[in-house]
A = this chain, B = another copy of it.
């Protein structure tokens, strides 16, 4: 088959198909030949649209990151904006957990990831946090969100009661974690995020703006 009348591939089609493949079968199953087969094409044809496999992964990762909402930093106080952002970030990542290990390496040159970092950092600095502190806060929240999306905590435990009964006395119920996966993972995230933000609010009051924070109406 030489060049068809209607191109069979576009960057968008490739990214969508790649996302679906990664979601369905995981990063290891994502190969250029496999992806091409899903698109009714041979492996090397993809290289007419992307230079490398990593470039496809970058596009997938940035599409995922693009779904994160950072608008709160423009409209709300920094604490509420952080909370909204963290939840949106988590939702975006848990919708495509298999790409998280790739995406979590950092923004690299991906536009959506850089725009997100820009919005968060800018919002924190505007709120009065010293630049170094703003960097730390953004990093700490990214740590927490990425870690929470990297793999389900609950599903990390094998469903094998005998495994735990023998040697790990406190984990007797661990094999049942998978049943309540979503509630365990979301509960842990909610608890951790609340604790983190609580601590940050205290730090803000202590170091950034004691007077402003003390006032009843921000």
Contacts and interface: CB of A to CB of B under 8 A. Distances in A.
Contact of A189 (B125, B135, B140, B194): B140
A108 B154 CA distance: 11
A201 to B, nearest CB: 9
Contact of A163 (B109, B125, B140): B109
Interface residues of A, number: 69
A199 B125 CA distance: 23
Interface stretch (A1-9, A43-51, A114-122): A114-122
28 contacts: A101-B150, A104-B150, A106-B151, A106-B152, A106-B153, A108-B156, A117-B171, A135-B177, A135-B184, A135-B187, A136-B184, A138-B188, A139-B148, A139-B185, A139-B188, A139-B192, A140-B144, A140-B195, A141-B192, A143-B147, A143-B153, A143-B189, A146-B147, A150-B150, A191-B203, A195-B198, A195-B199, A198-B202
